[in-house]
Amino acid sequence: TVVDVAAGGNAYPVRIAAGLLDRAGELLAPYARGRIAVVSEDDVWRLWGARLAAALGSEGIEALPIVVPAGEASKNWATLGGVLDRLLALGIERSDHIVAFGGGMVGDLAGLAAALLKRGCGLIQIPTTLLAQVDSSVGGKTAVNVAAGKNLVGAFHQPDLVLIDPALLDTLPGRQLAAGYAEVVKYGLIDDADFFRWCEYEGAALLSGDPAARLHAIETSVRAKARIVGADERETTGRRALLNFGHSFAHALEAEAGYSGALLHGEAVAAGMALAMRLSVAEGLCPDEDAMRVAGHLRVMGLPTGIPGQAADRLIAHMRQDKKNKDGRITLILSRGIGQAFVTDQVPEERLRAFLRTECA
Ligand code: NAD
Ligand code: ZN
């Protein structure tokens, strides 16, 4: 399958098929000049680096690996600087392409490096986590984390090509797979009730590695993301903000957990989506039955759906920092029902606080 993503007058292909990694030589040949820099992290490179290098080698392309430590802690200024120095030392030019080979951490780090190198060189994403395959590798957002918070410094820099090989997920730990699955469910909740129903029936097959379910989920998710990003590349009309369904709460929960790895992003998103549904019910916008279905499905998939024991006031303090907020009002993505998400700033902070106090109890 090829999904075309239209962004800023340009379009780029997202290719999705099992076994694509082994065809990387042929697929990347037009973007390489006999050699290509590959930014990756040590765990992914240990598991899959030789396969990628062999695929490139079969077309006479030398892979030049730049490997950083695995984990969110590498998404910082110092590591970014190191990657840029290596790229410059390798003689990478503006007309060259670099490959991001890893999960969302590598995608964001290498993406920002590509945005900055010589004021912007080419970028190819080969995502290796479910989260990166269905979400972060498409859409052009790149960032690093700084002392003031996560993803606060970054750039929009669209890739020229995205290669998604679901077989890479064979080695992904189950907890990471489930966390990425939360973002899959998100697309159903935003604007595709039929897809949410599919998730209810086939989600378990996906998590147990069924290739057909995996492929369908990735294709549907990438199409949804492409549609929304194509309508609002730089998050100016509010359409792209829908992709943040569940994320205002999620970011607050991640900040509370100290980005420690104790709570994965997708786990926080699952809880955040369940909260967004229940707040929508409390606001009289959404049928209770829909909120119950969403929480029920996420729970069955092993994902968290509540926040008992959290401190409501601290969560609100984090939510006030959200990049989506305008004029001091908290912007939320709420729901009129499964598949009907919308952006609103009409929930006063006091009602949000009362809702969160009940949820935290
Ligand atoms: P990650 O890249 O840290 O990967 C998660 C874990 O999986 C790591 O331990 C990694 O080593 C391991 N891993 C990766 N691929 C593997 C494989 N094939 N087999 C075995 N292990 C593998 O995290 P993530 O969940 O992919 O991405 C999270 C990051 O993505 C965050 O930094 C987040 O801010 C960012 N993000 C960006 C966007 C965007 O639009 N740019 C969207 C969502 C999230
Ligand atoms: Zn997310």
pLDDT of residue 324: 82
pLDDT, tens digit (0-9, with 9 covering 90-100), for 13-62: 999 999 999 999 999 999 999 999 999 999 999 999 999 999 999 999 99
CA terminus-to-terminus distance, the chain = 47
- Known catalytic residue at 59: no
pLDDT of residue 232: 84
- Known catalytic residue at 141: yes
pLDDT of residue 273: 98
Ligand of minimum distance to the alpha carbon of 104: 1
Q: What is 179-360's CATH number, 1.10.1380.10, 1.20.1090.10, 3.40.50.720, 1.10.760.10?
A: 1.20.1090.10
- Known catalytic residue at 235: yes
What's the rounded mean pLDDT across residues 222-226?
A: 97
Ligand of minimum distance to the alpha carbon of 106: 1
Task: With a cut of 80, say whether residue 9 has pLDDT above it.
Answer: no
pLDDT, tens digit (0-9, with 9 covering 90-100), for 239-253: 889 999 999 999 999
Ligand 1 binding pocket (C-beta < 6 A) is: 41, 43-44, 47, 70-72, 75, 102-106, 108, 128-129, 131-132, 135-136, 139, 141, 151, 168, 171-172, 176, 265
pLDDT of residue 332: 95
Cβ–Cβ under 8 Å, residues 82 and 74: no
For domain 2-171, give the CATH number: 3.40.50.1970
pLDDT of residue 322: 82
Same fold, 2-171 and 179-360: no
pLDDT, tens digit (0-9, with 9 covering 90-100), for 321-338: 888 888 888 999 999 999
Task: With a cut of 80, say whether residue 172 has pLDDT above it.
Answer: yes
Task: With a cut of 90, say whether residue 138 has pLDDT above it.
Answer: yes
Q: What is the ipTM of this complex?
A: 0.99
For the stretch 249-253, contacts whose Cβ atoms lie closer than 8 Å and that sit 24 or more positions apart, written own/partner, are 249/275, 249/276, 249/307, 249/315, 249/319, 251/150, 251/318, 251/319, 251/322, 252/314, 252/315, 252/316, 252/318, 252/319, 253/307, 253/310, 253/315
Band of pLDDT at residue 145, cut at 50, 70 and 90: very high
pLDDT of residue 358: 96
Q: How far is the CA of 270 from the centre of ligand 2 (A)?
A: 10
The single residue of 86, 145, 157, 183 carrying the catalytic annotation is 183
Cβ–Cβ under 8 Å, residues 224 and 239: no
pLDDT, tens digit (0-9, with 9 covering 90-100), for 290-330: 999 999 999 999 999 999 999 999 999 999 888 888 888 89
Band of pLDDT at residue 234, cut at 50, 70 and 90: confident
Task: With a cut of 80, say whether residue 144 has pLDDT above it.
Answer: yes
Band of pLDDT at residue 76, cut at 50, 70 and 90: very high
Domain definitions of the chain by residue range: 2-171, 179-360
- The kind and range of the H/E element at 318 are helix 312-319
* 136: its two tokens: 């972060």
* DSSP bridge pairs for 7: 10
For residue 77, which phi and psi values (nearest 5 degrees)? -60, -45
Q: Is 128 marked as binding a ligand? A: yes
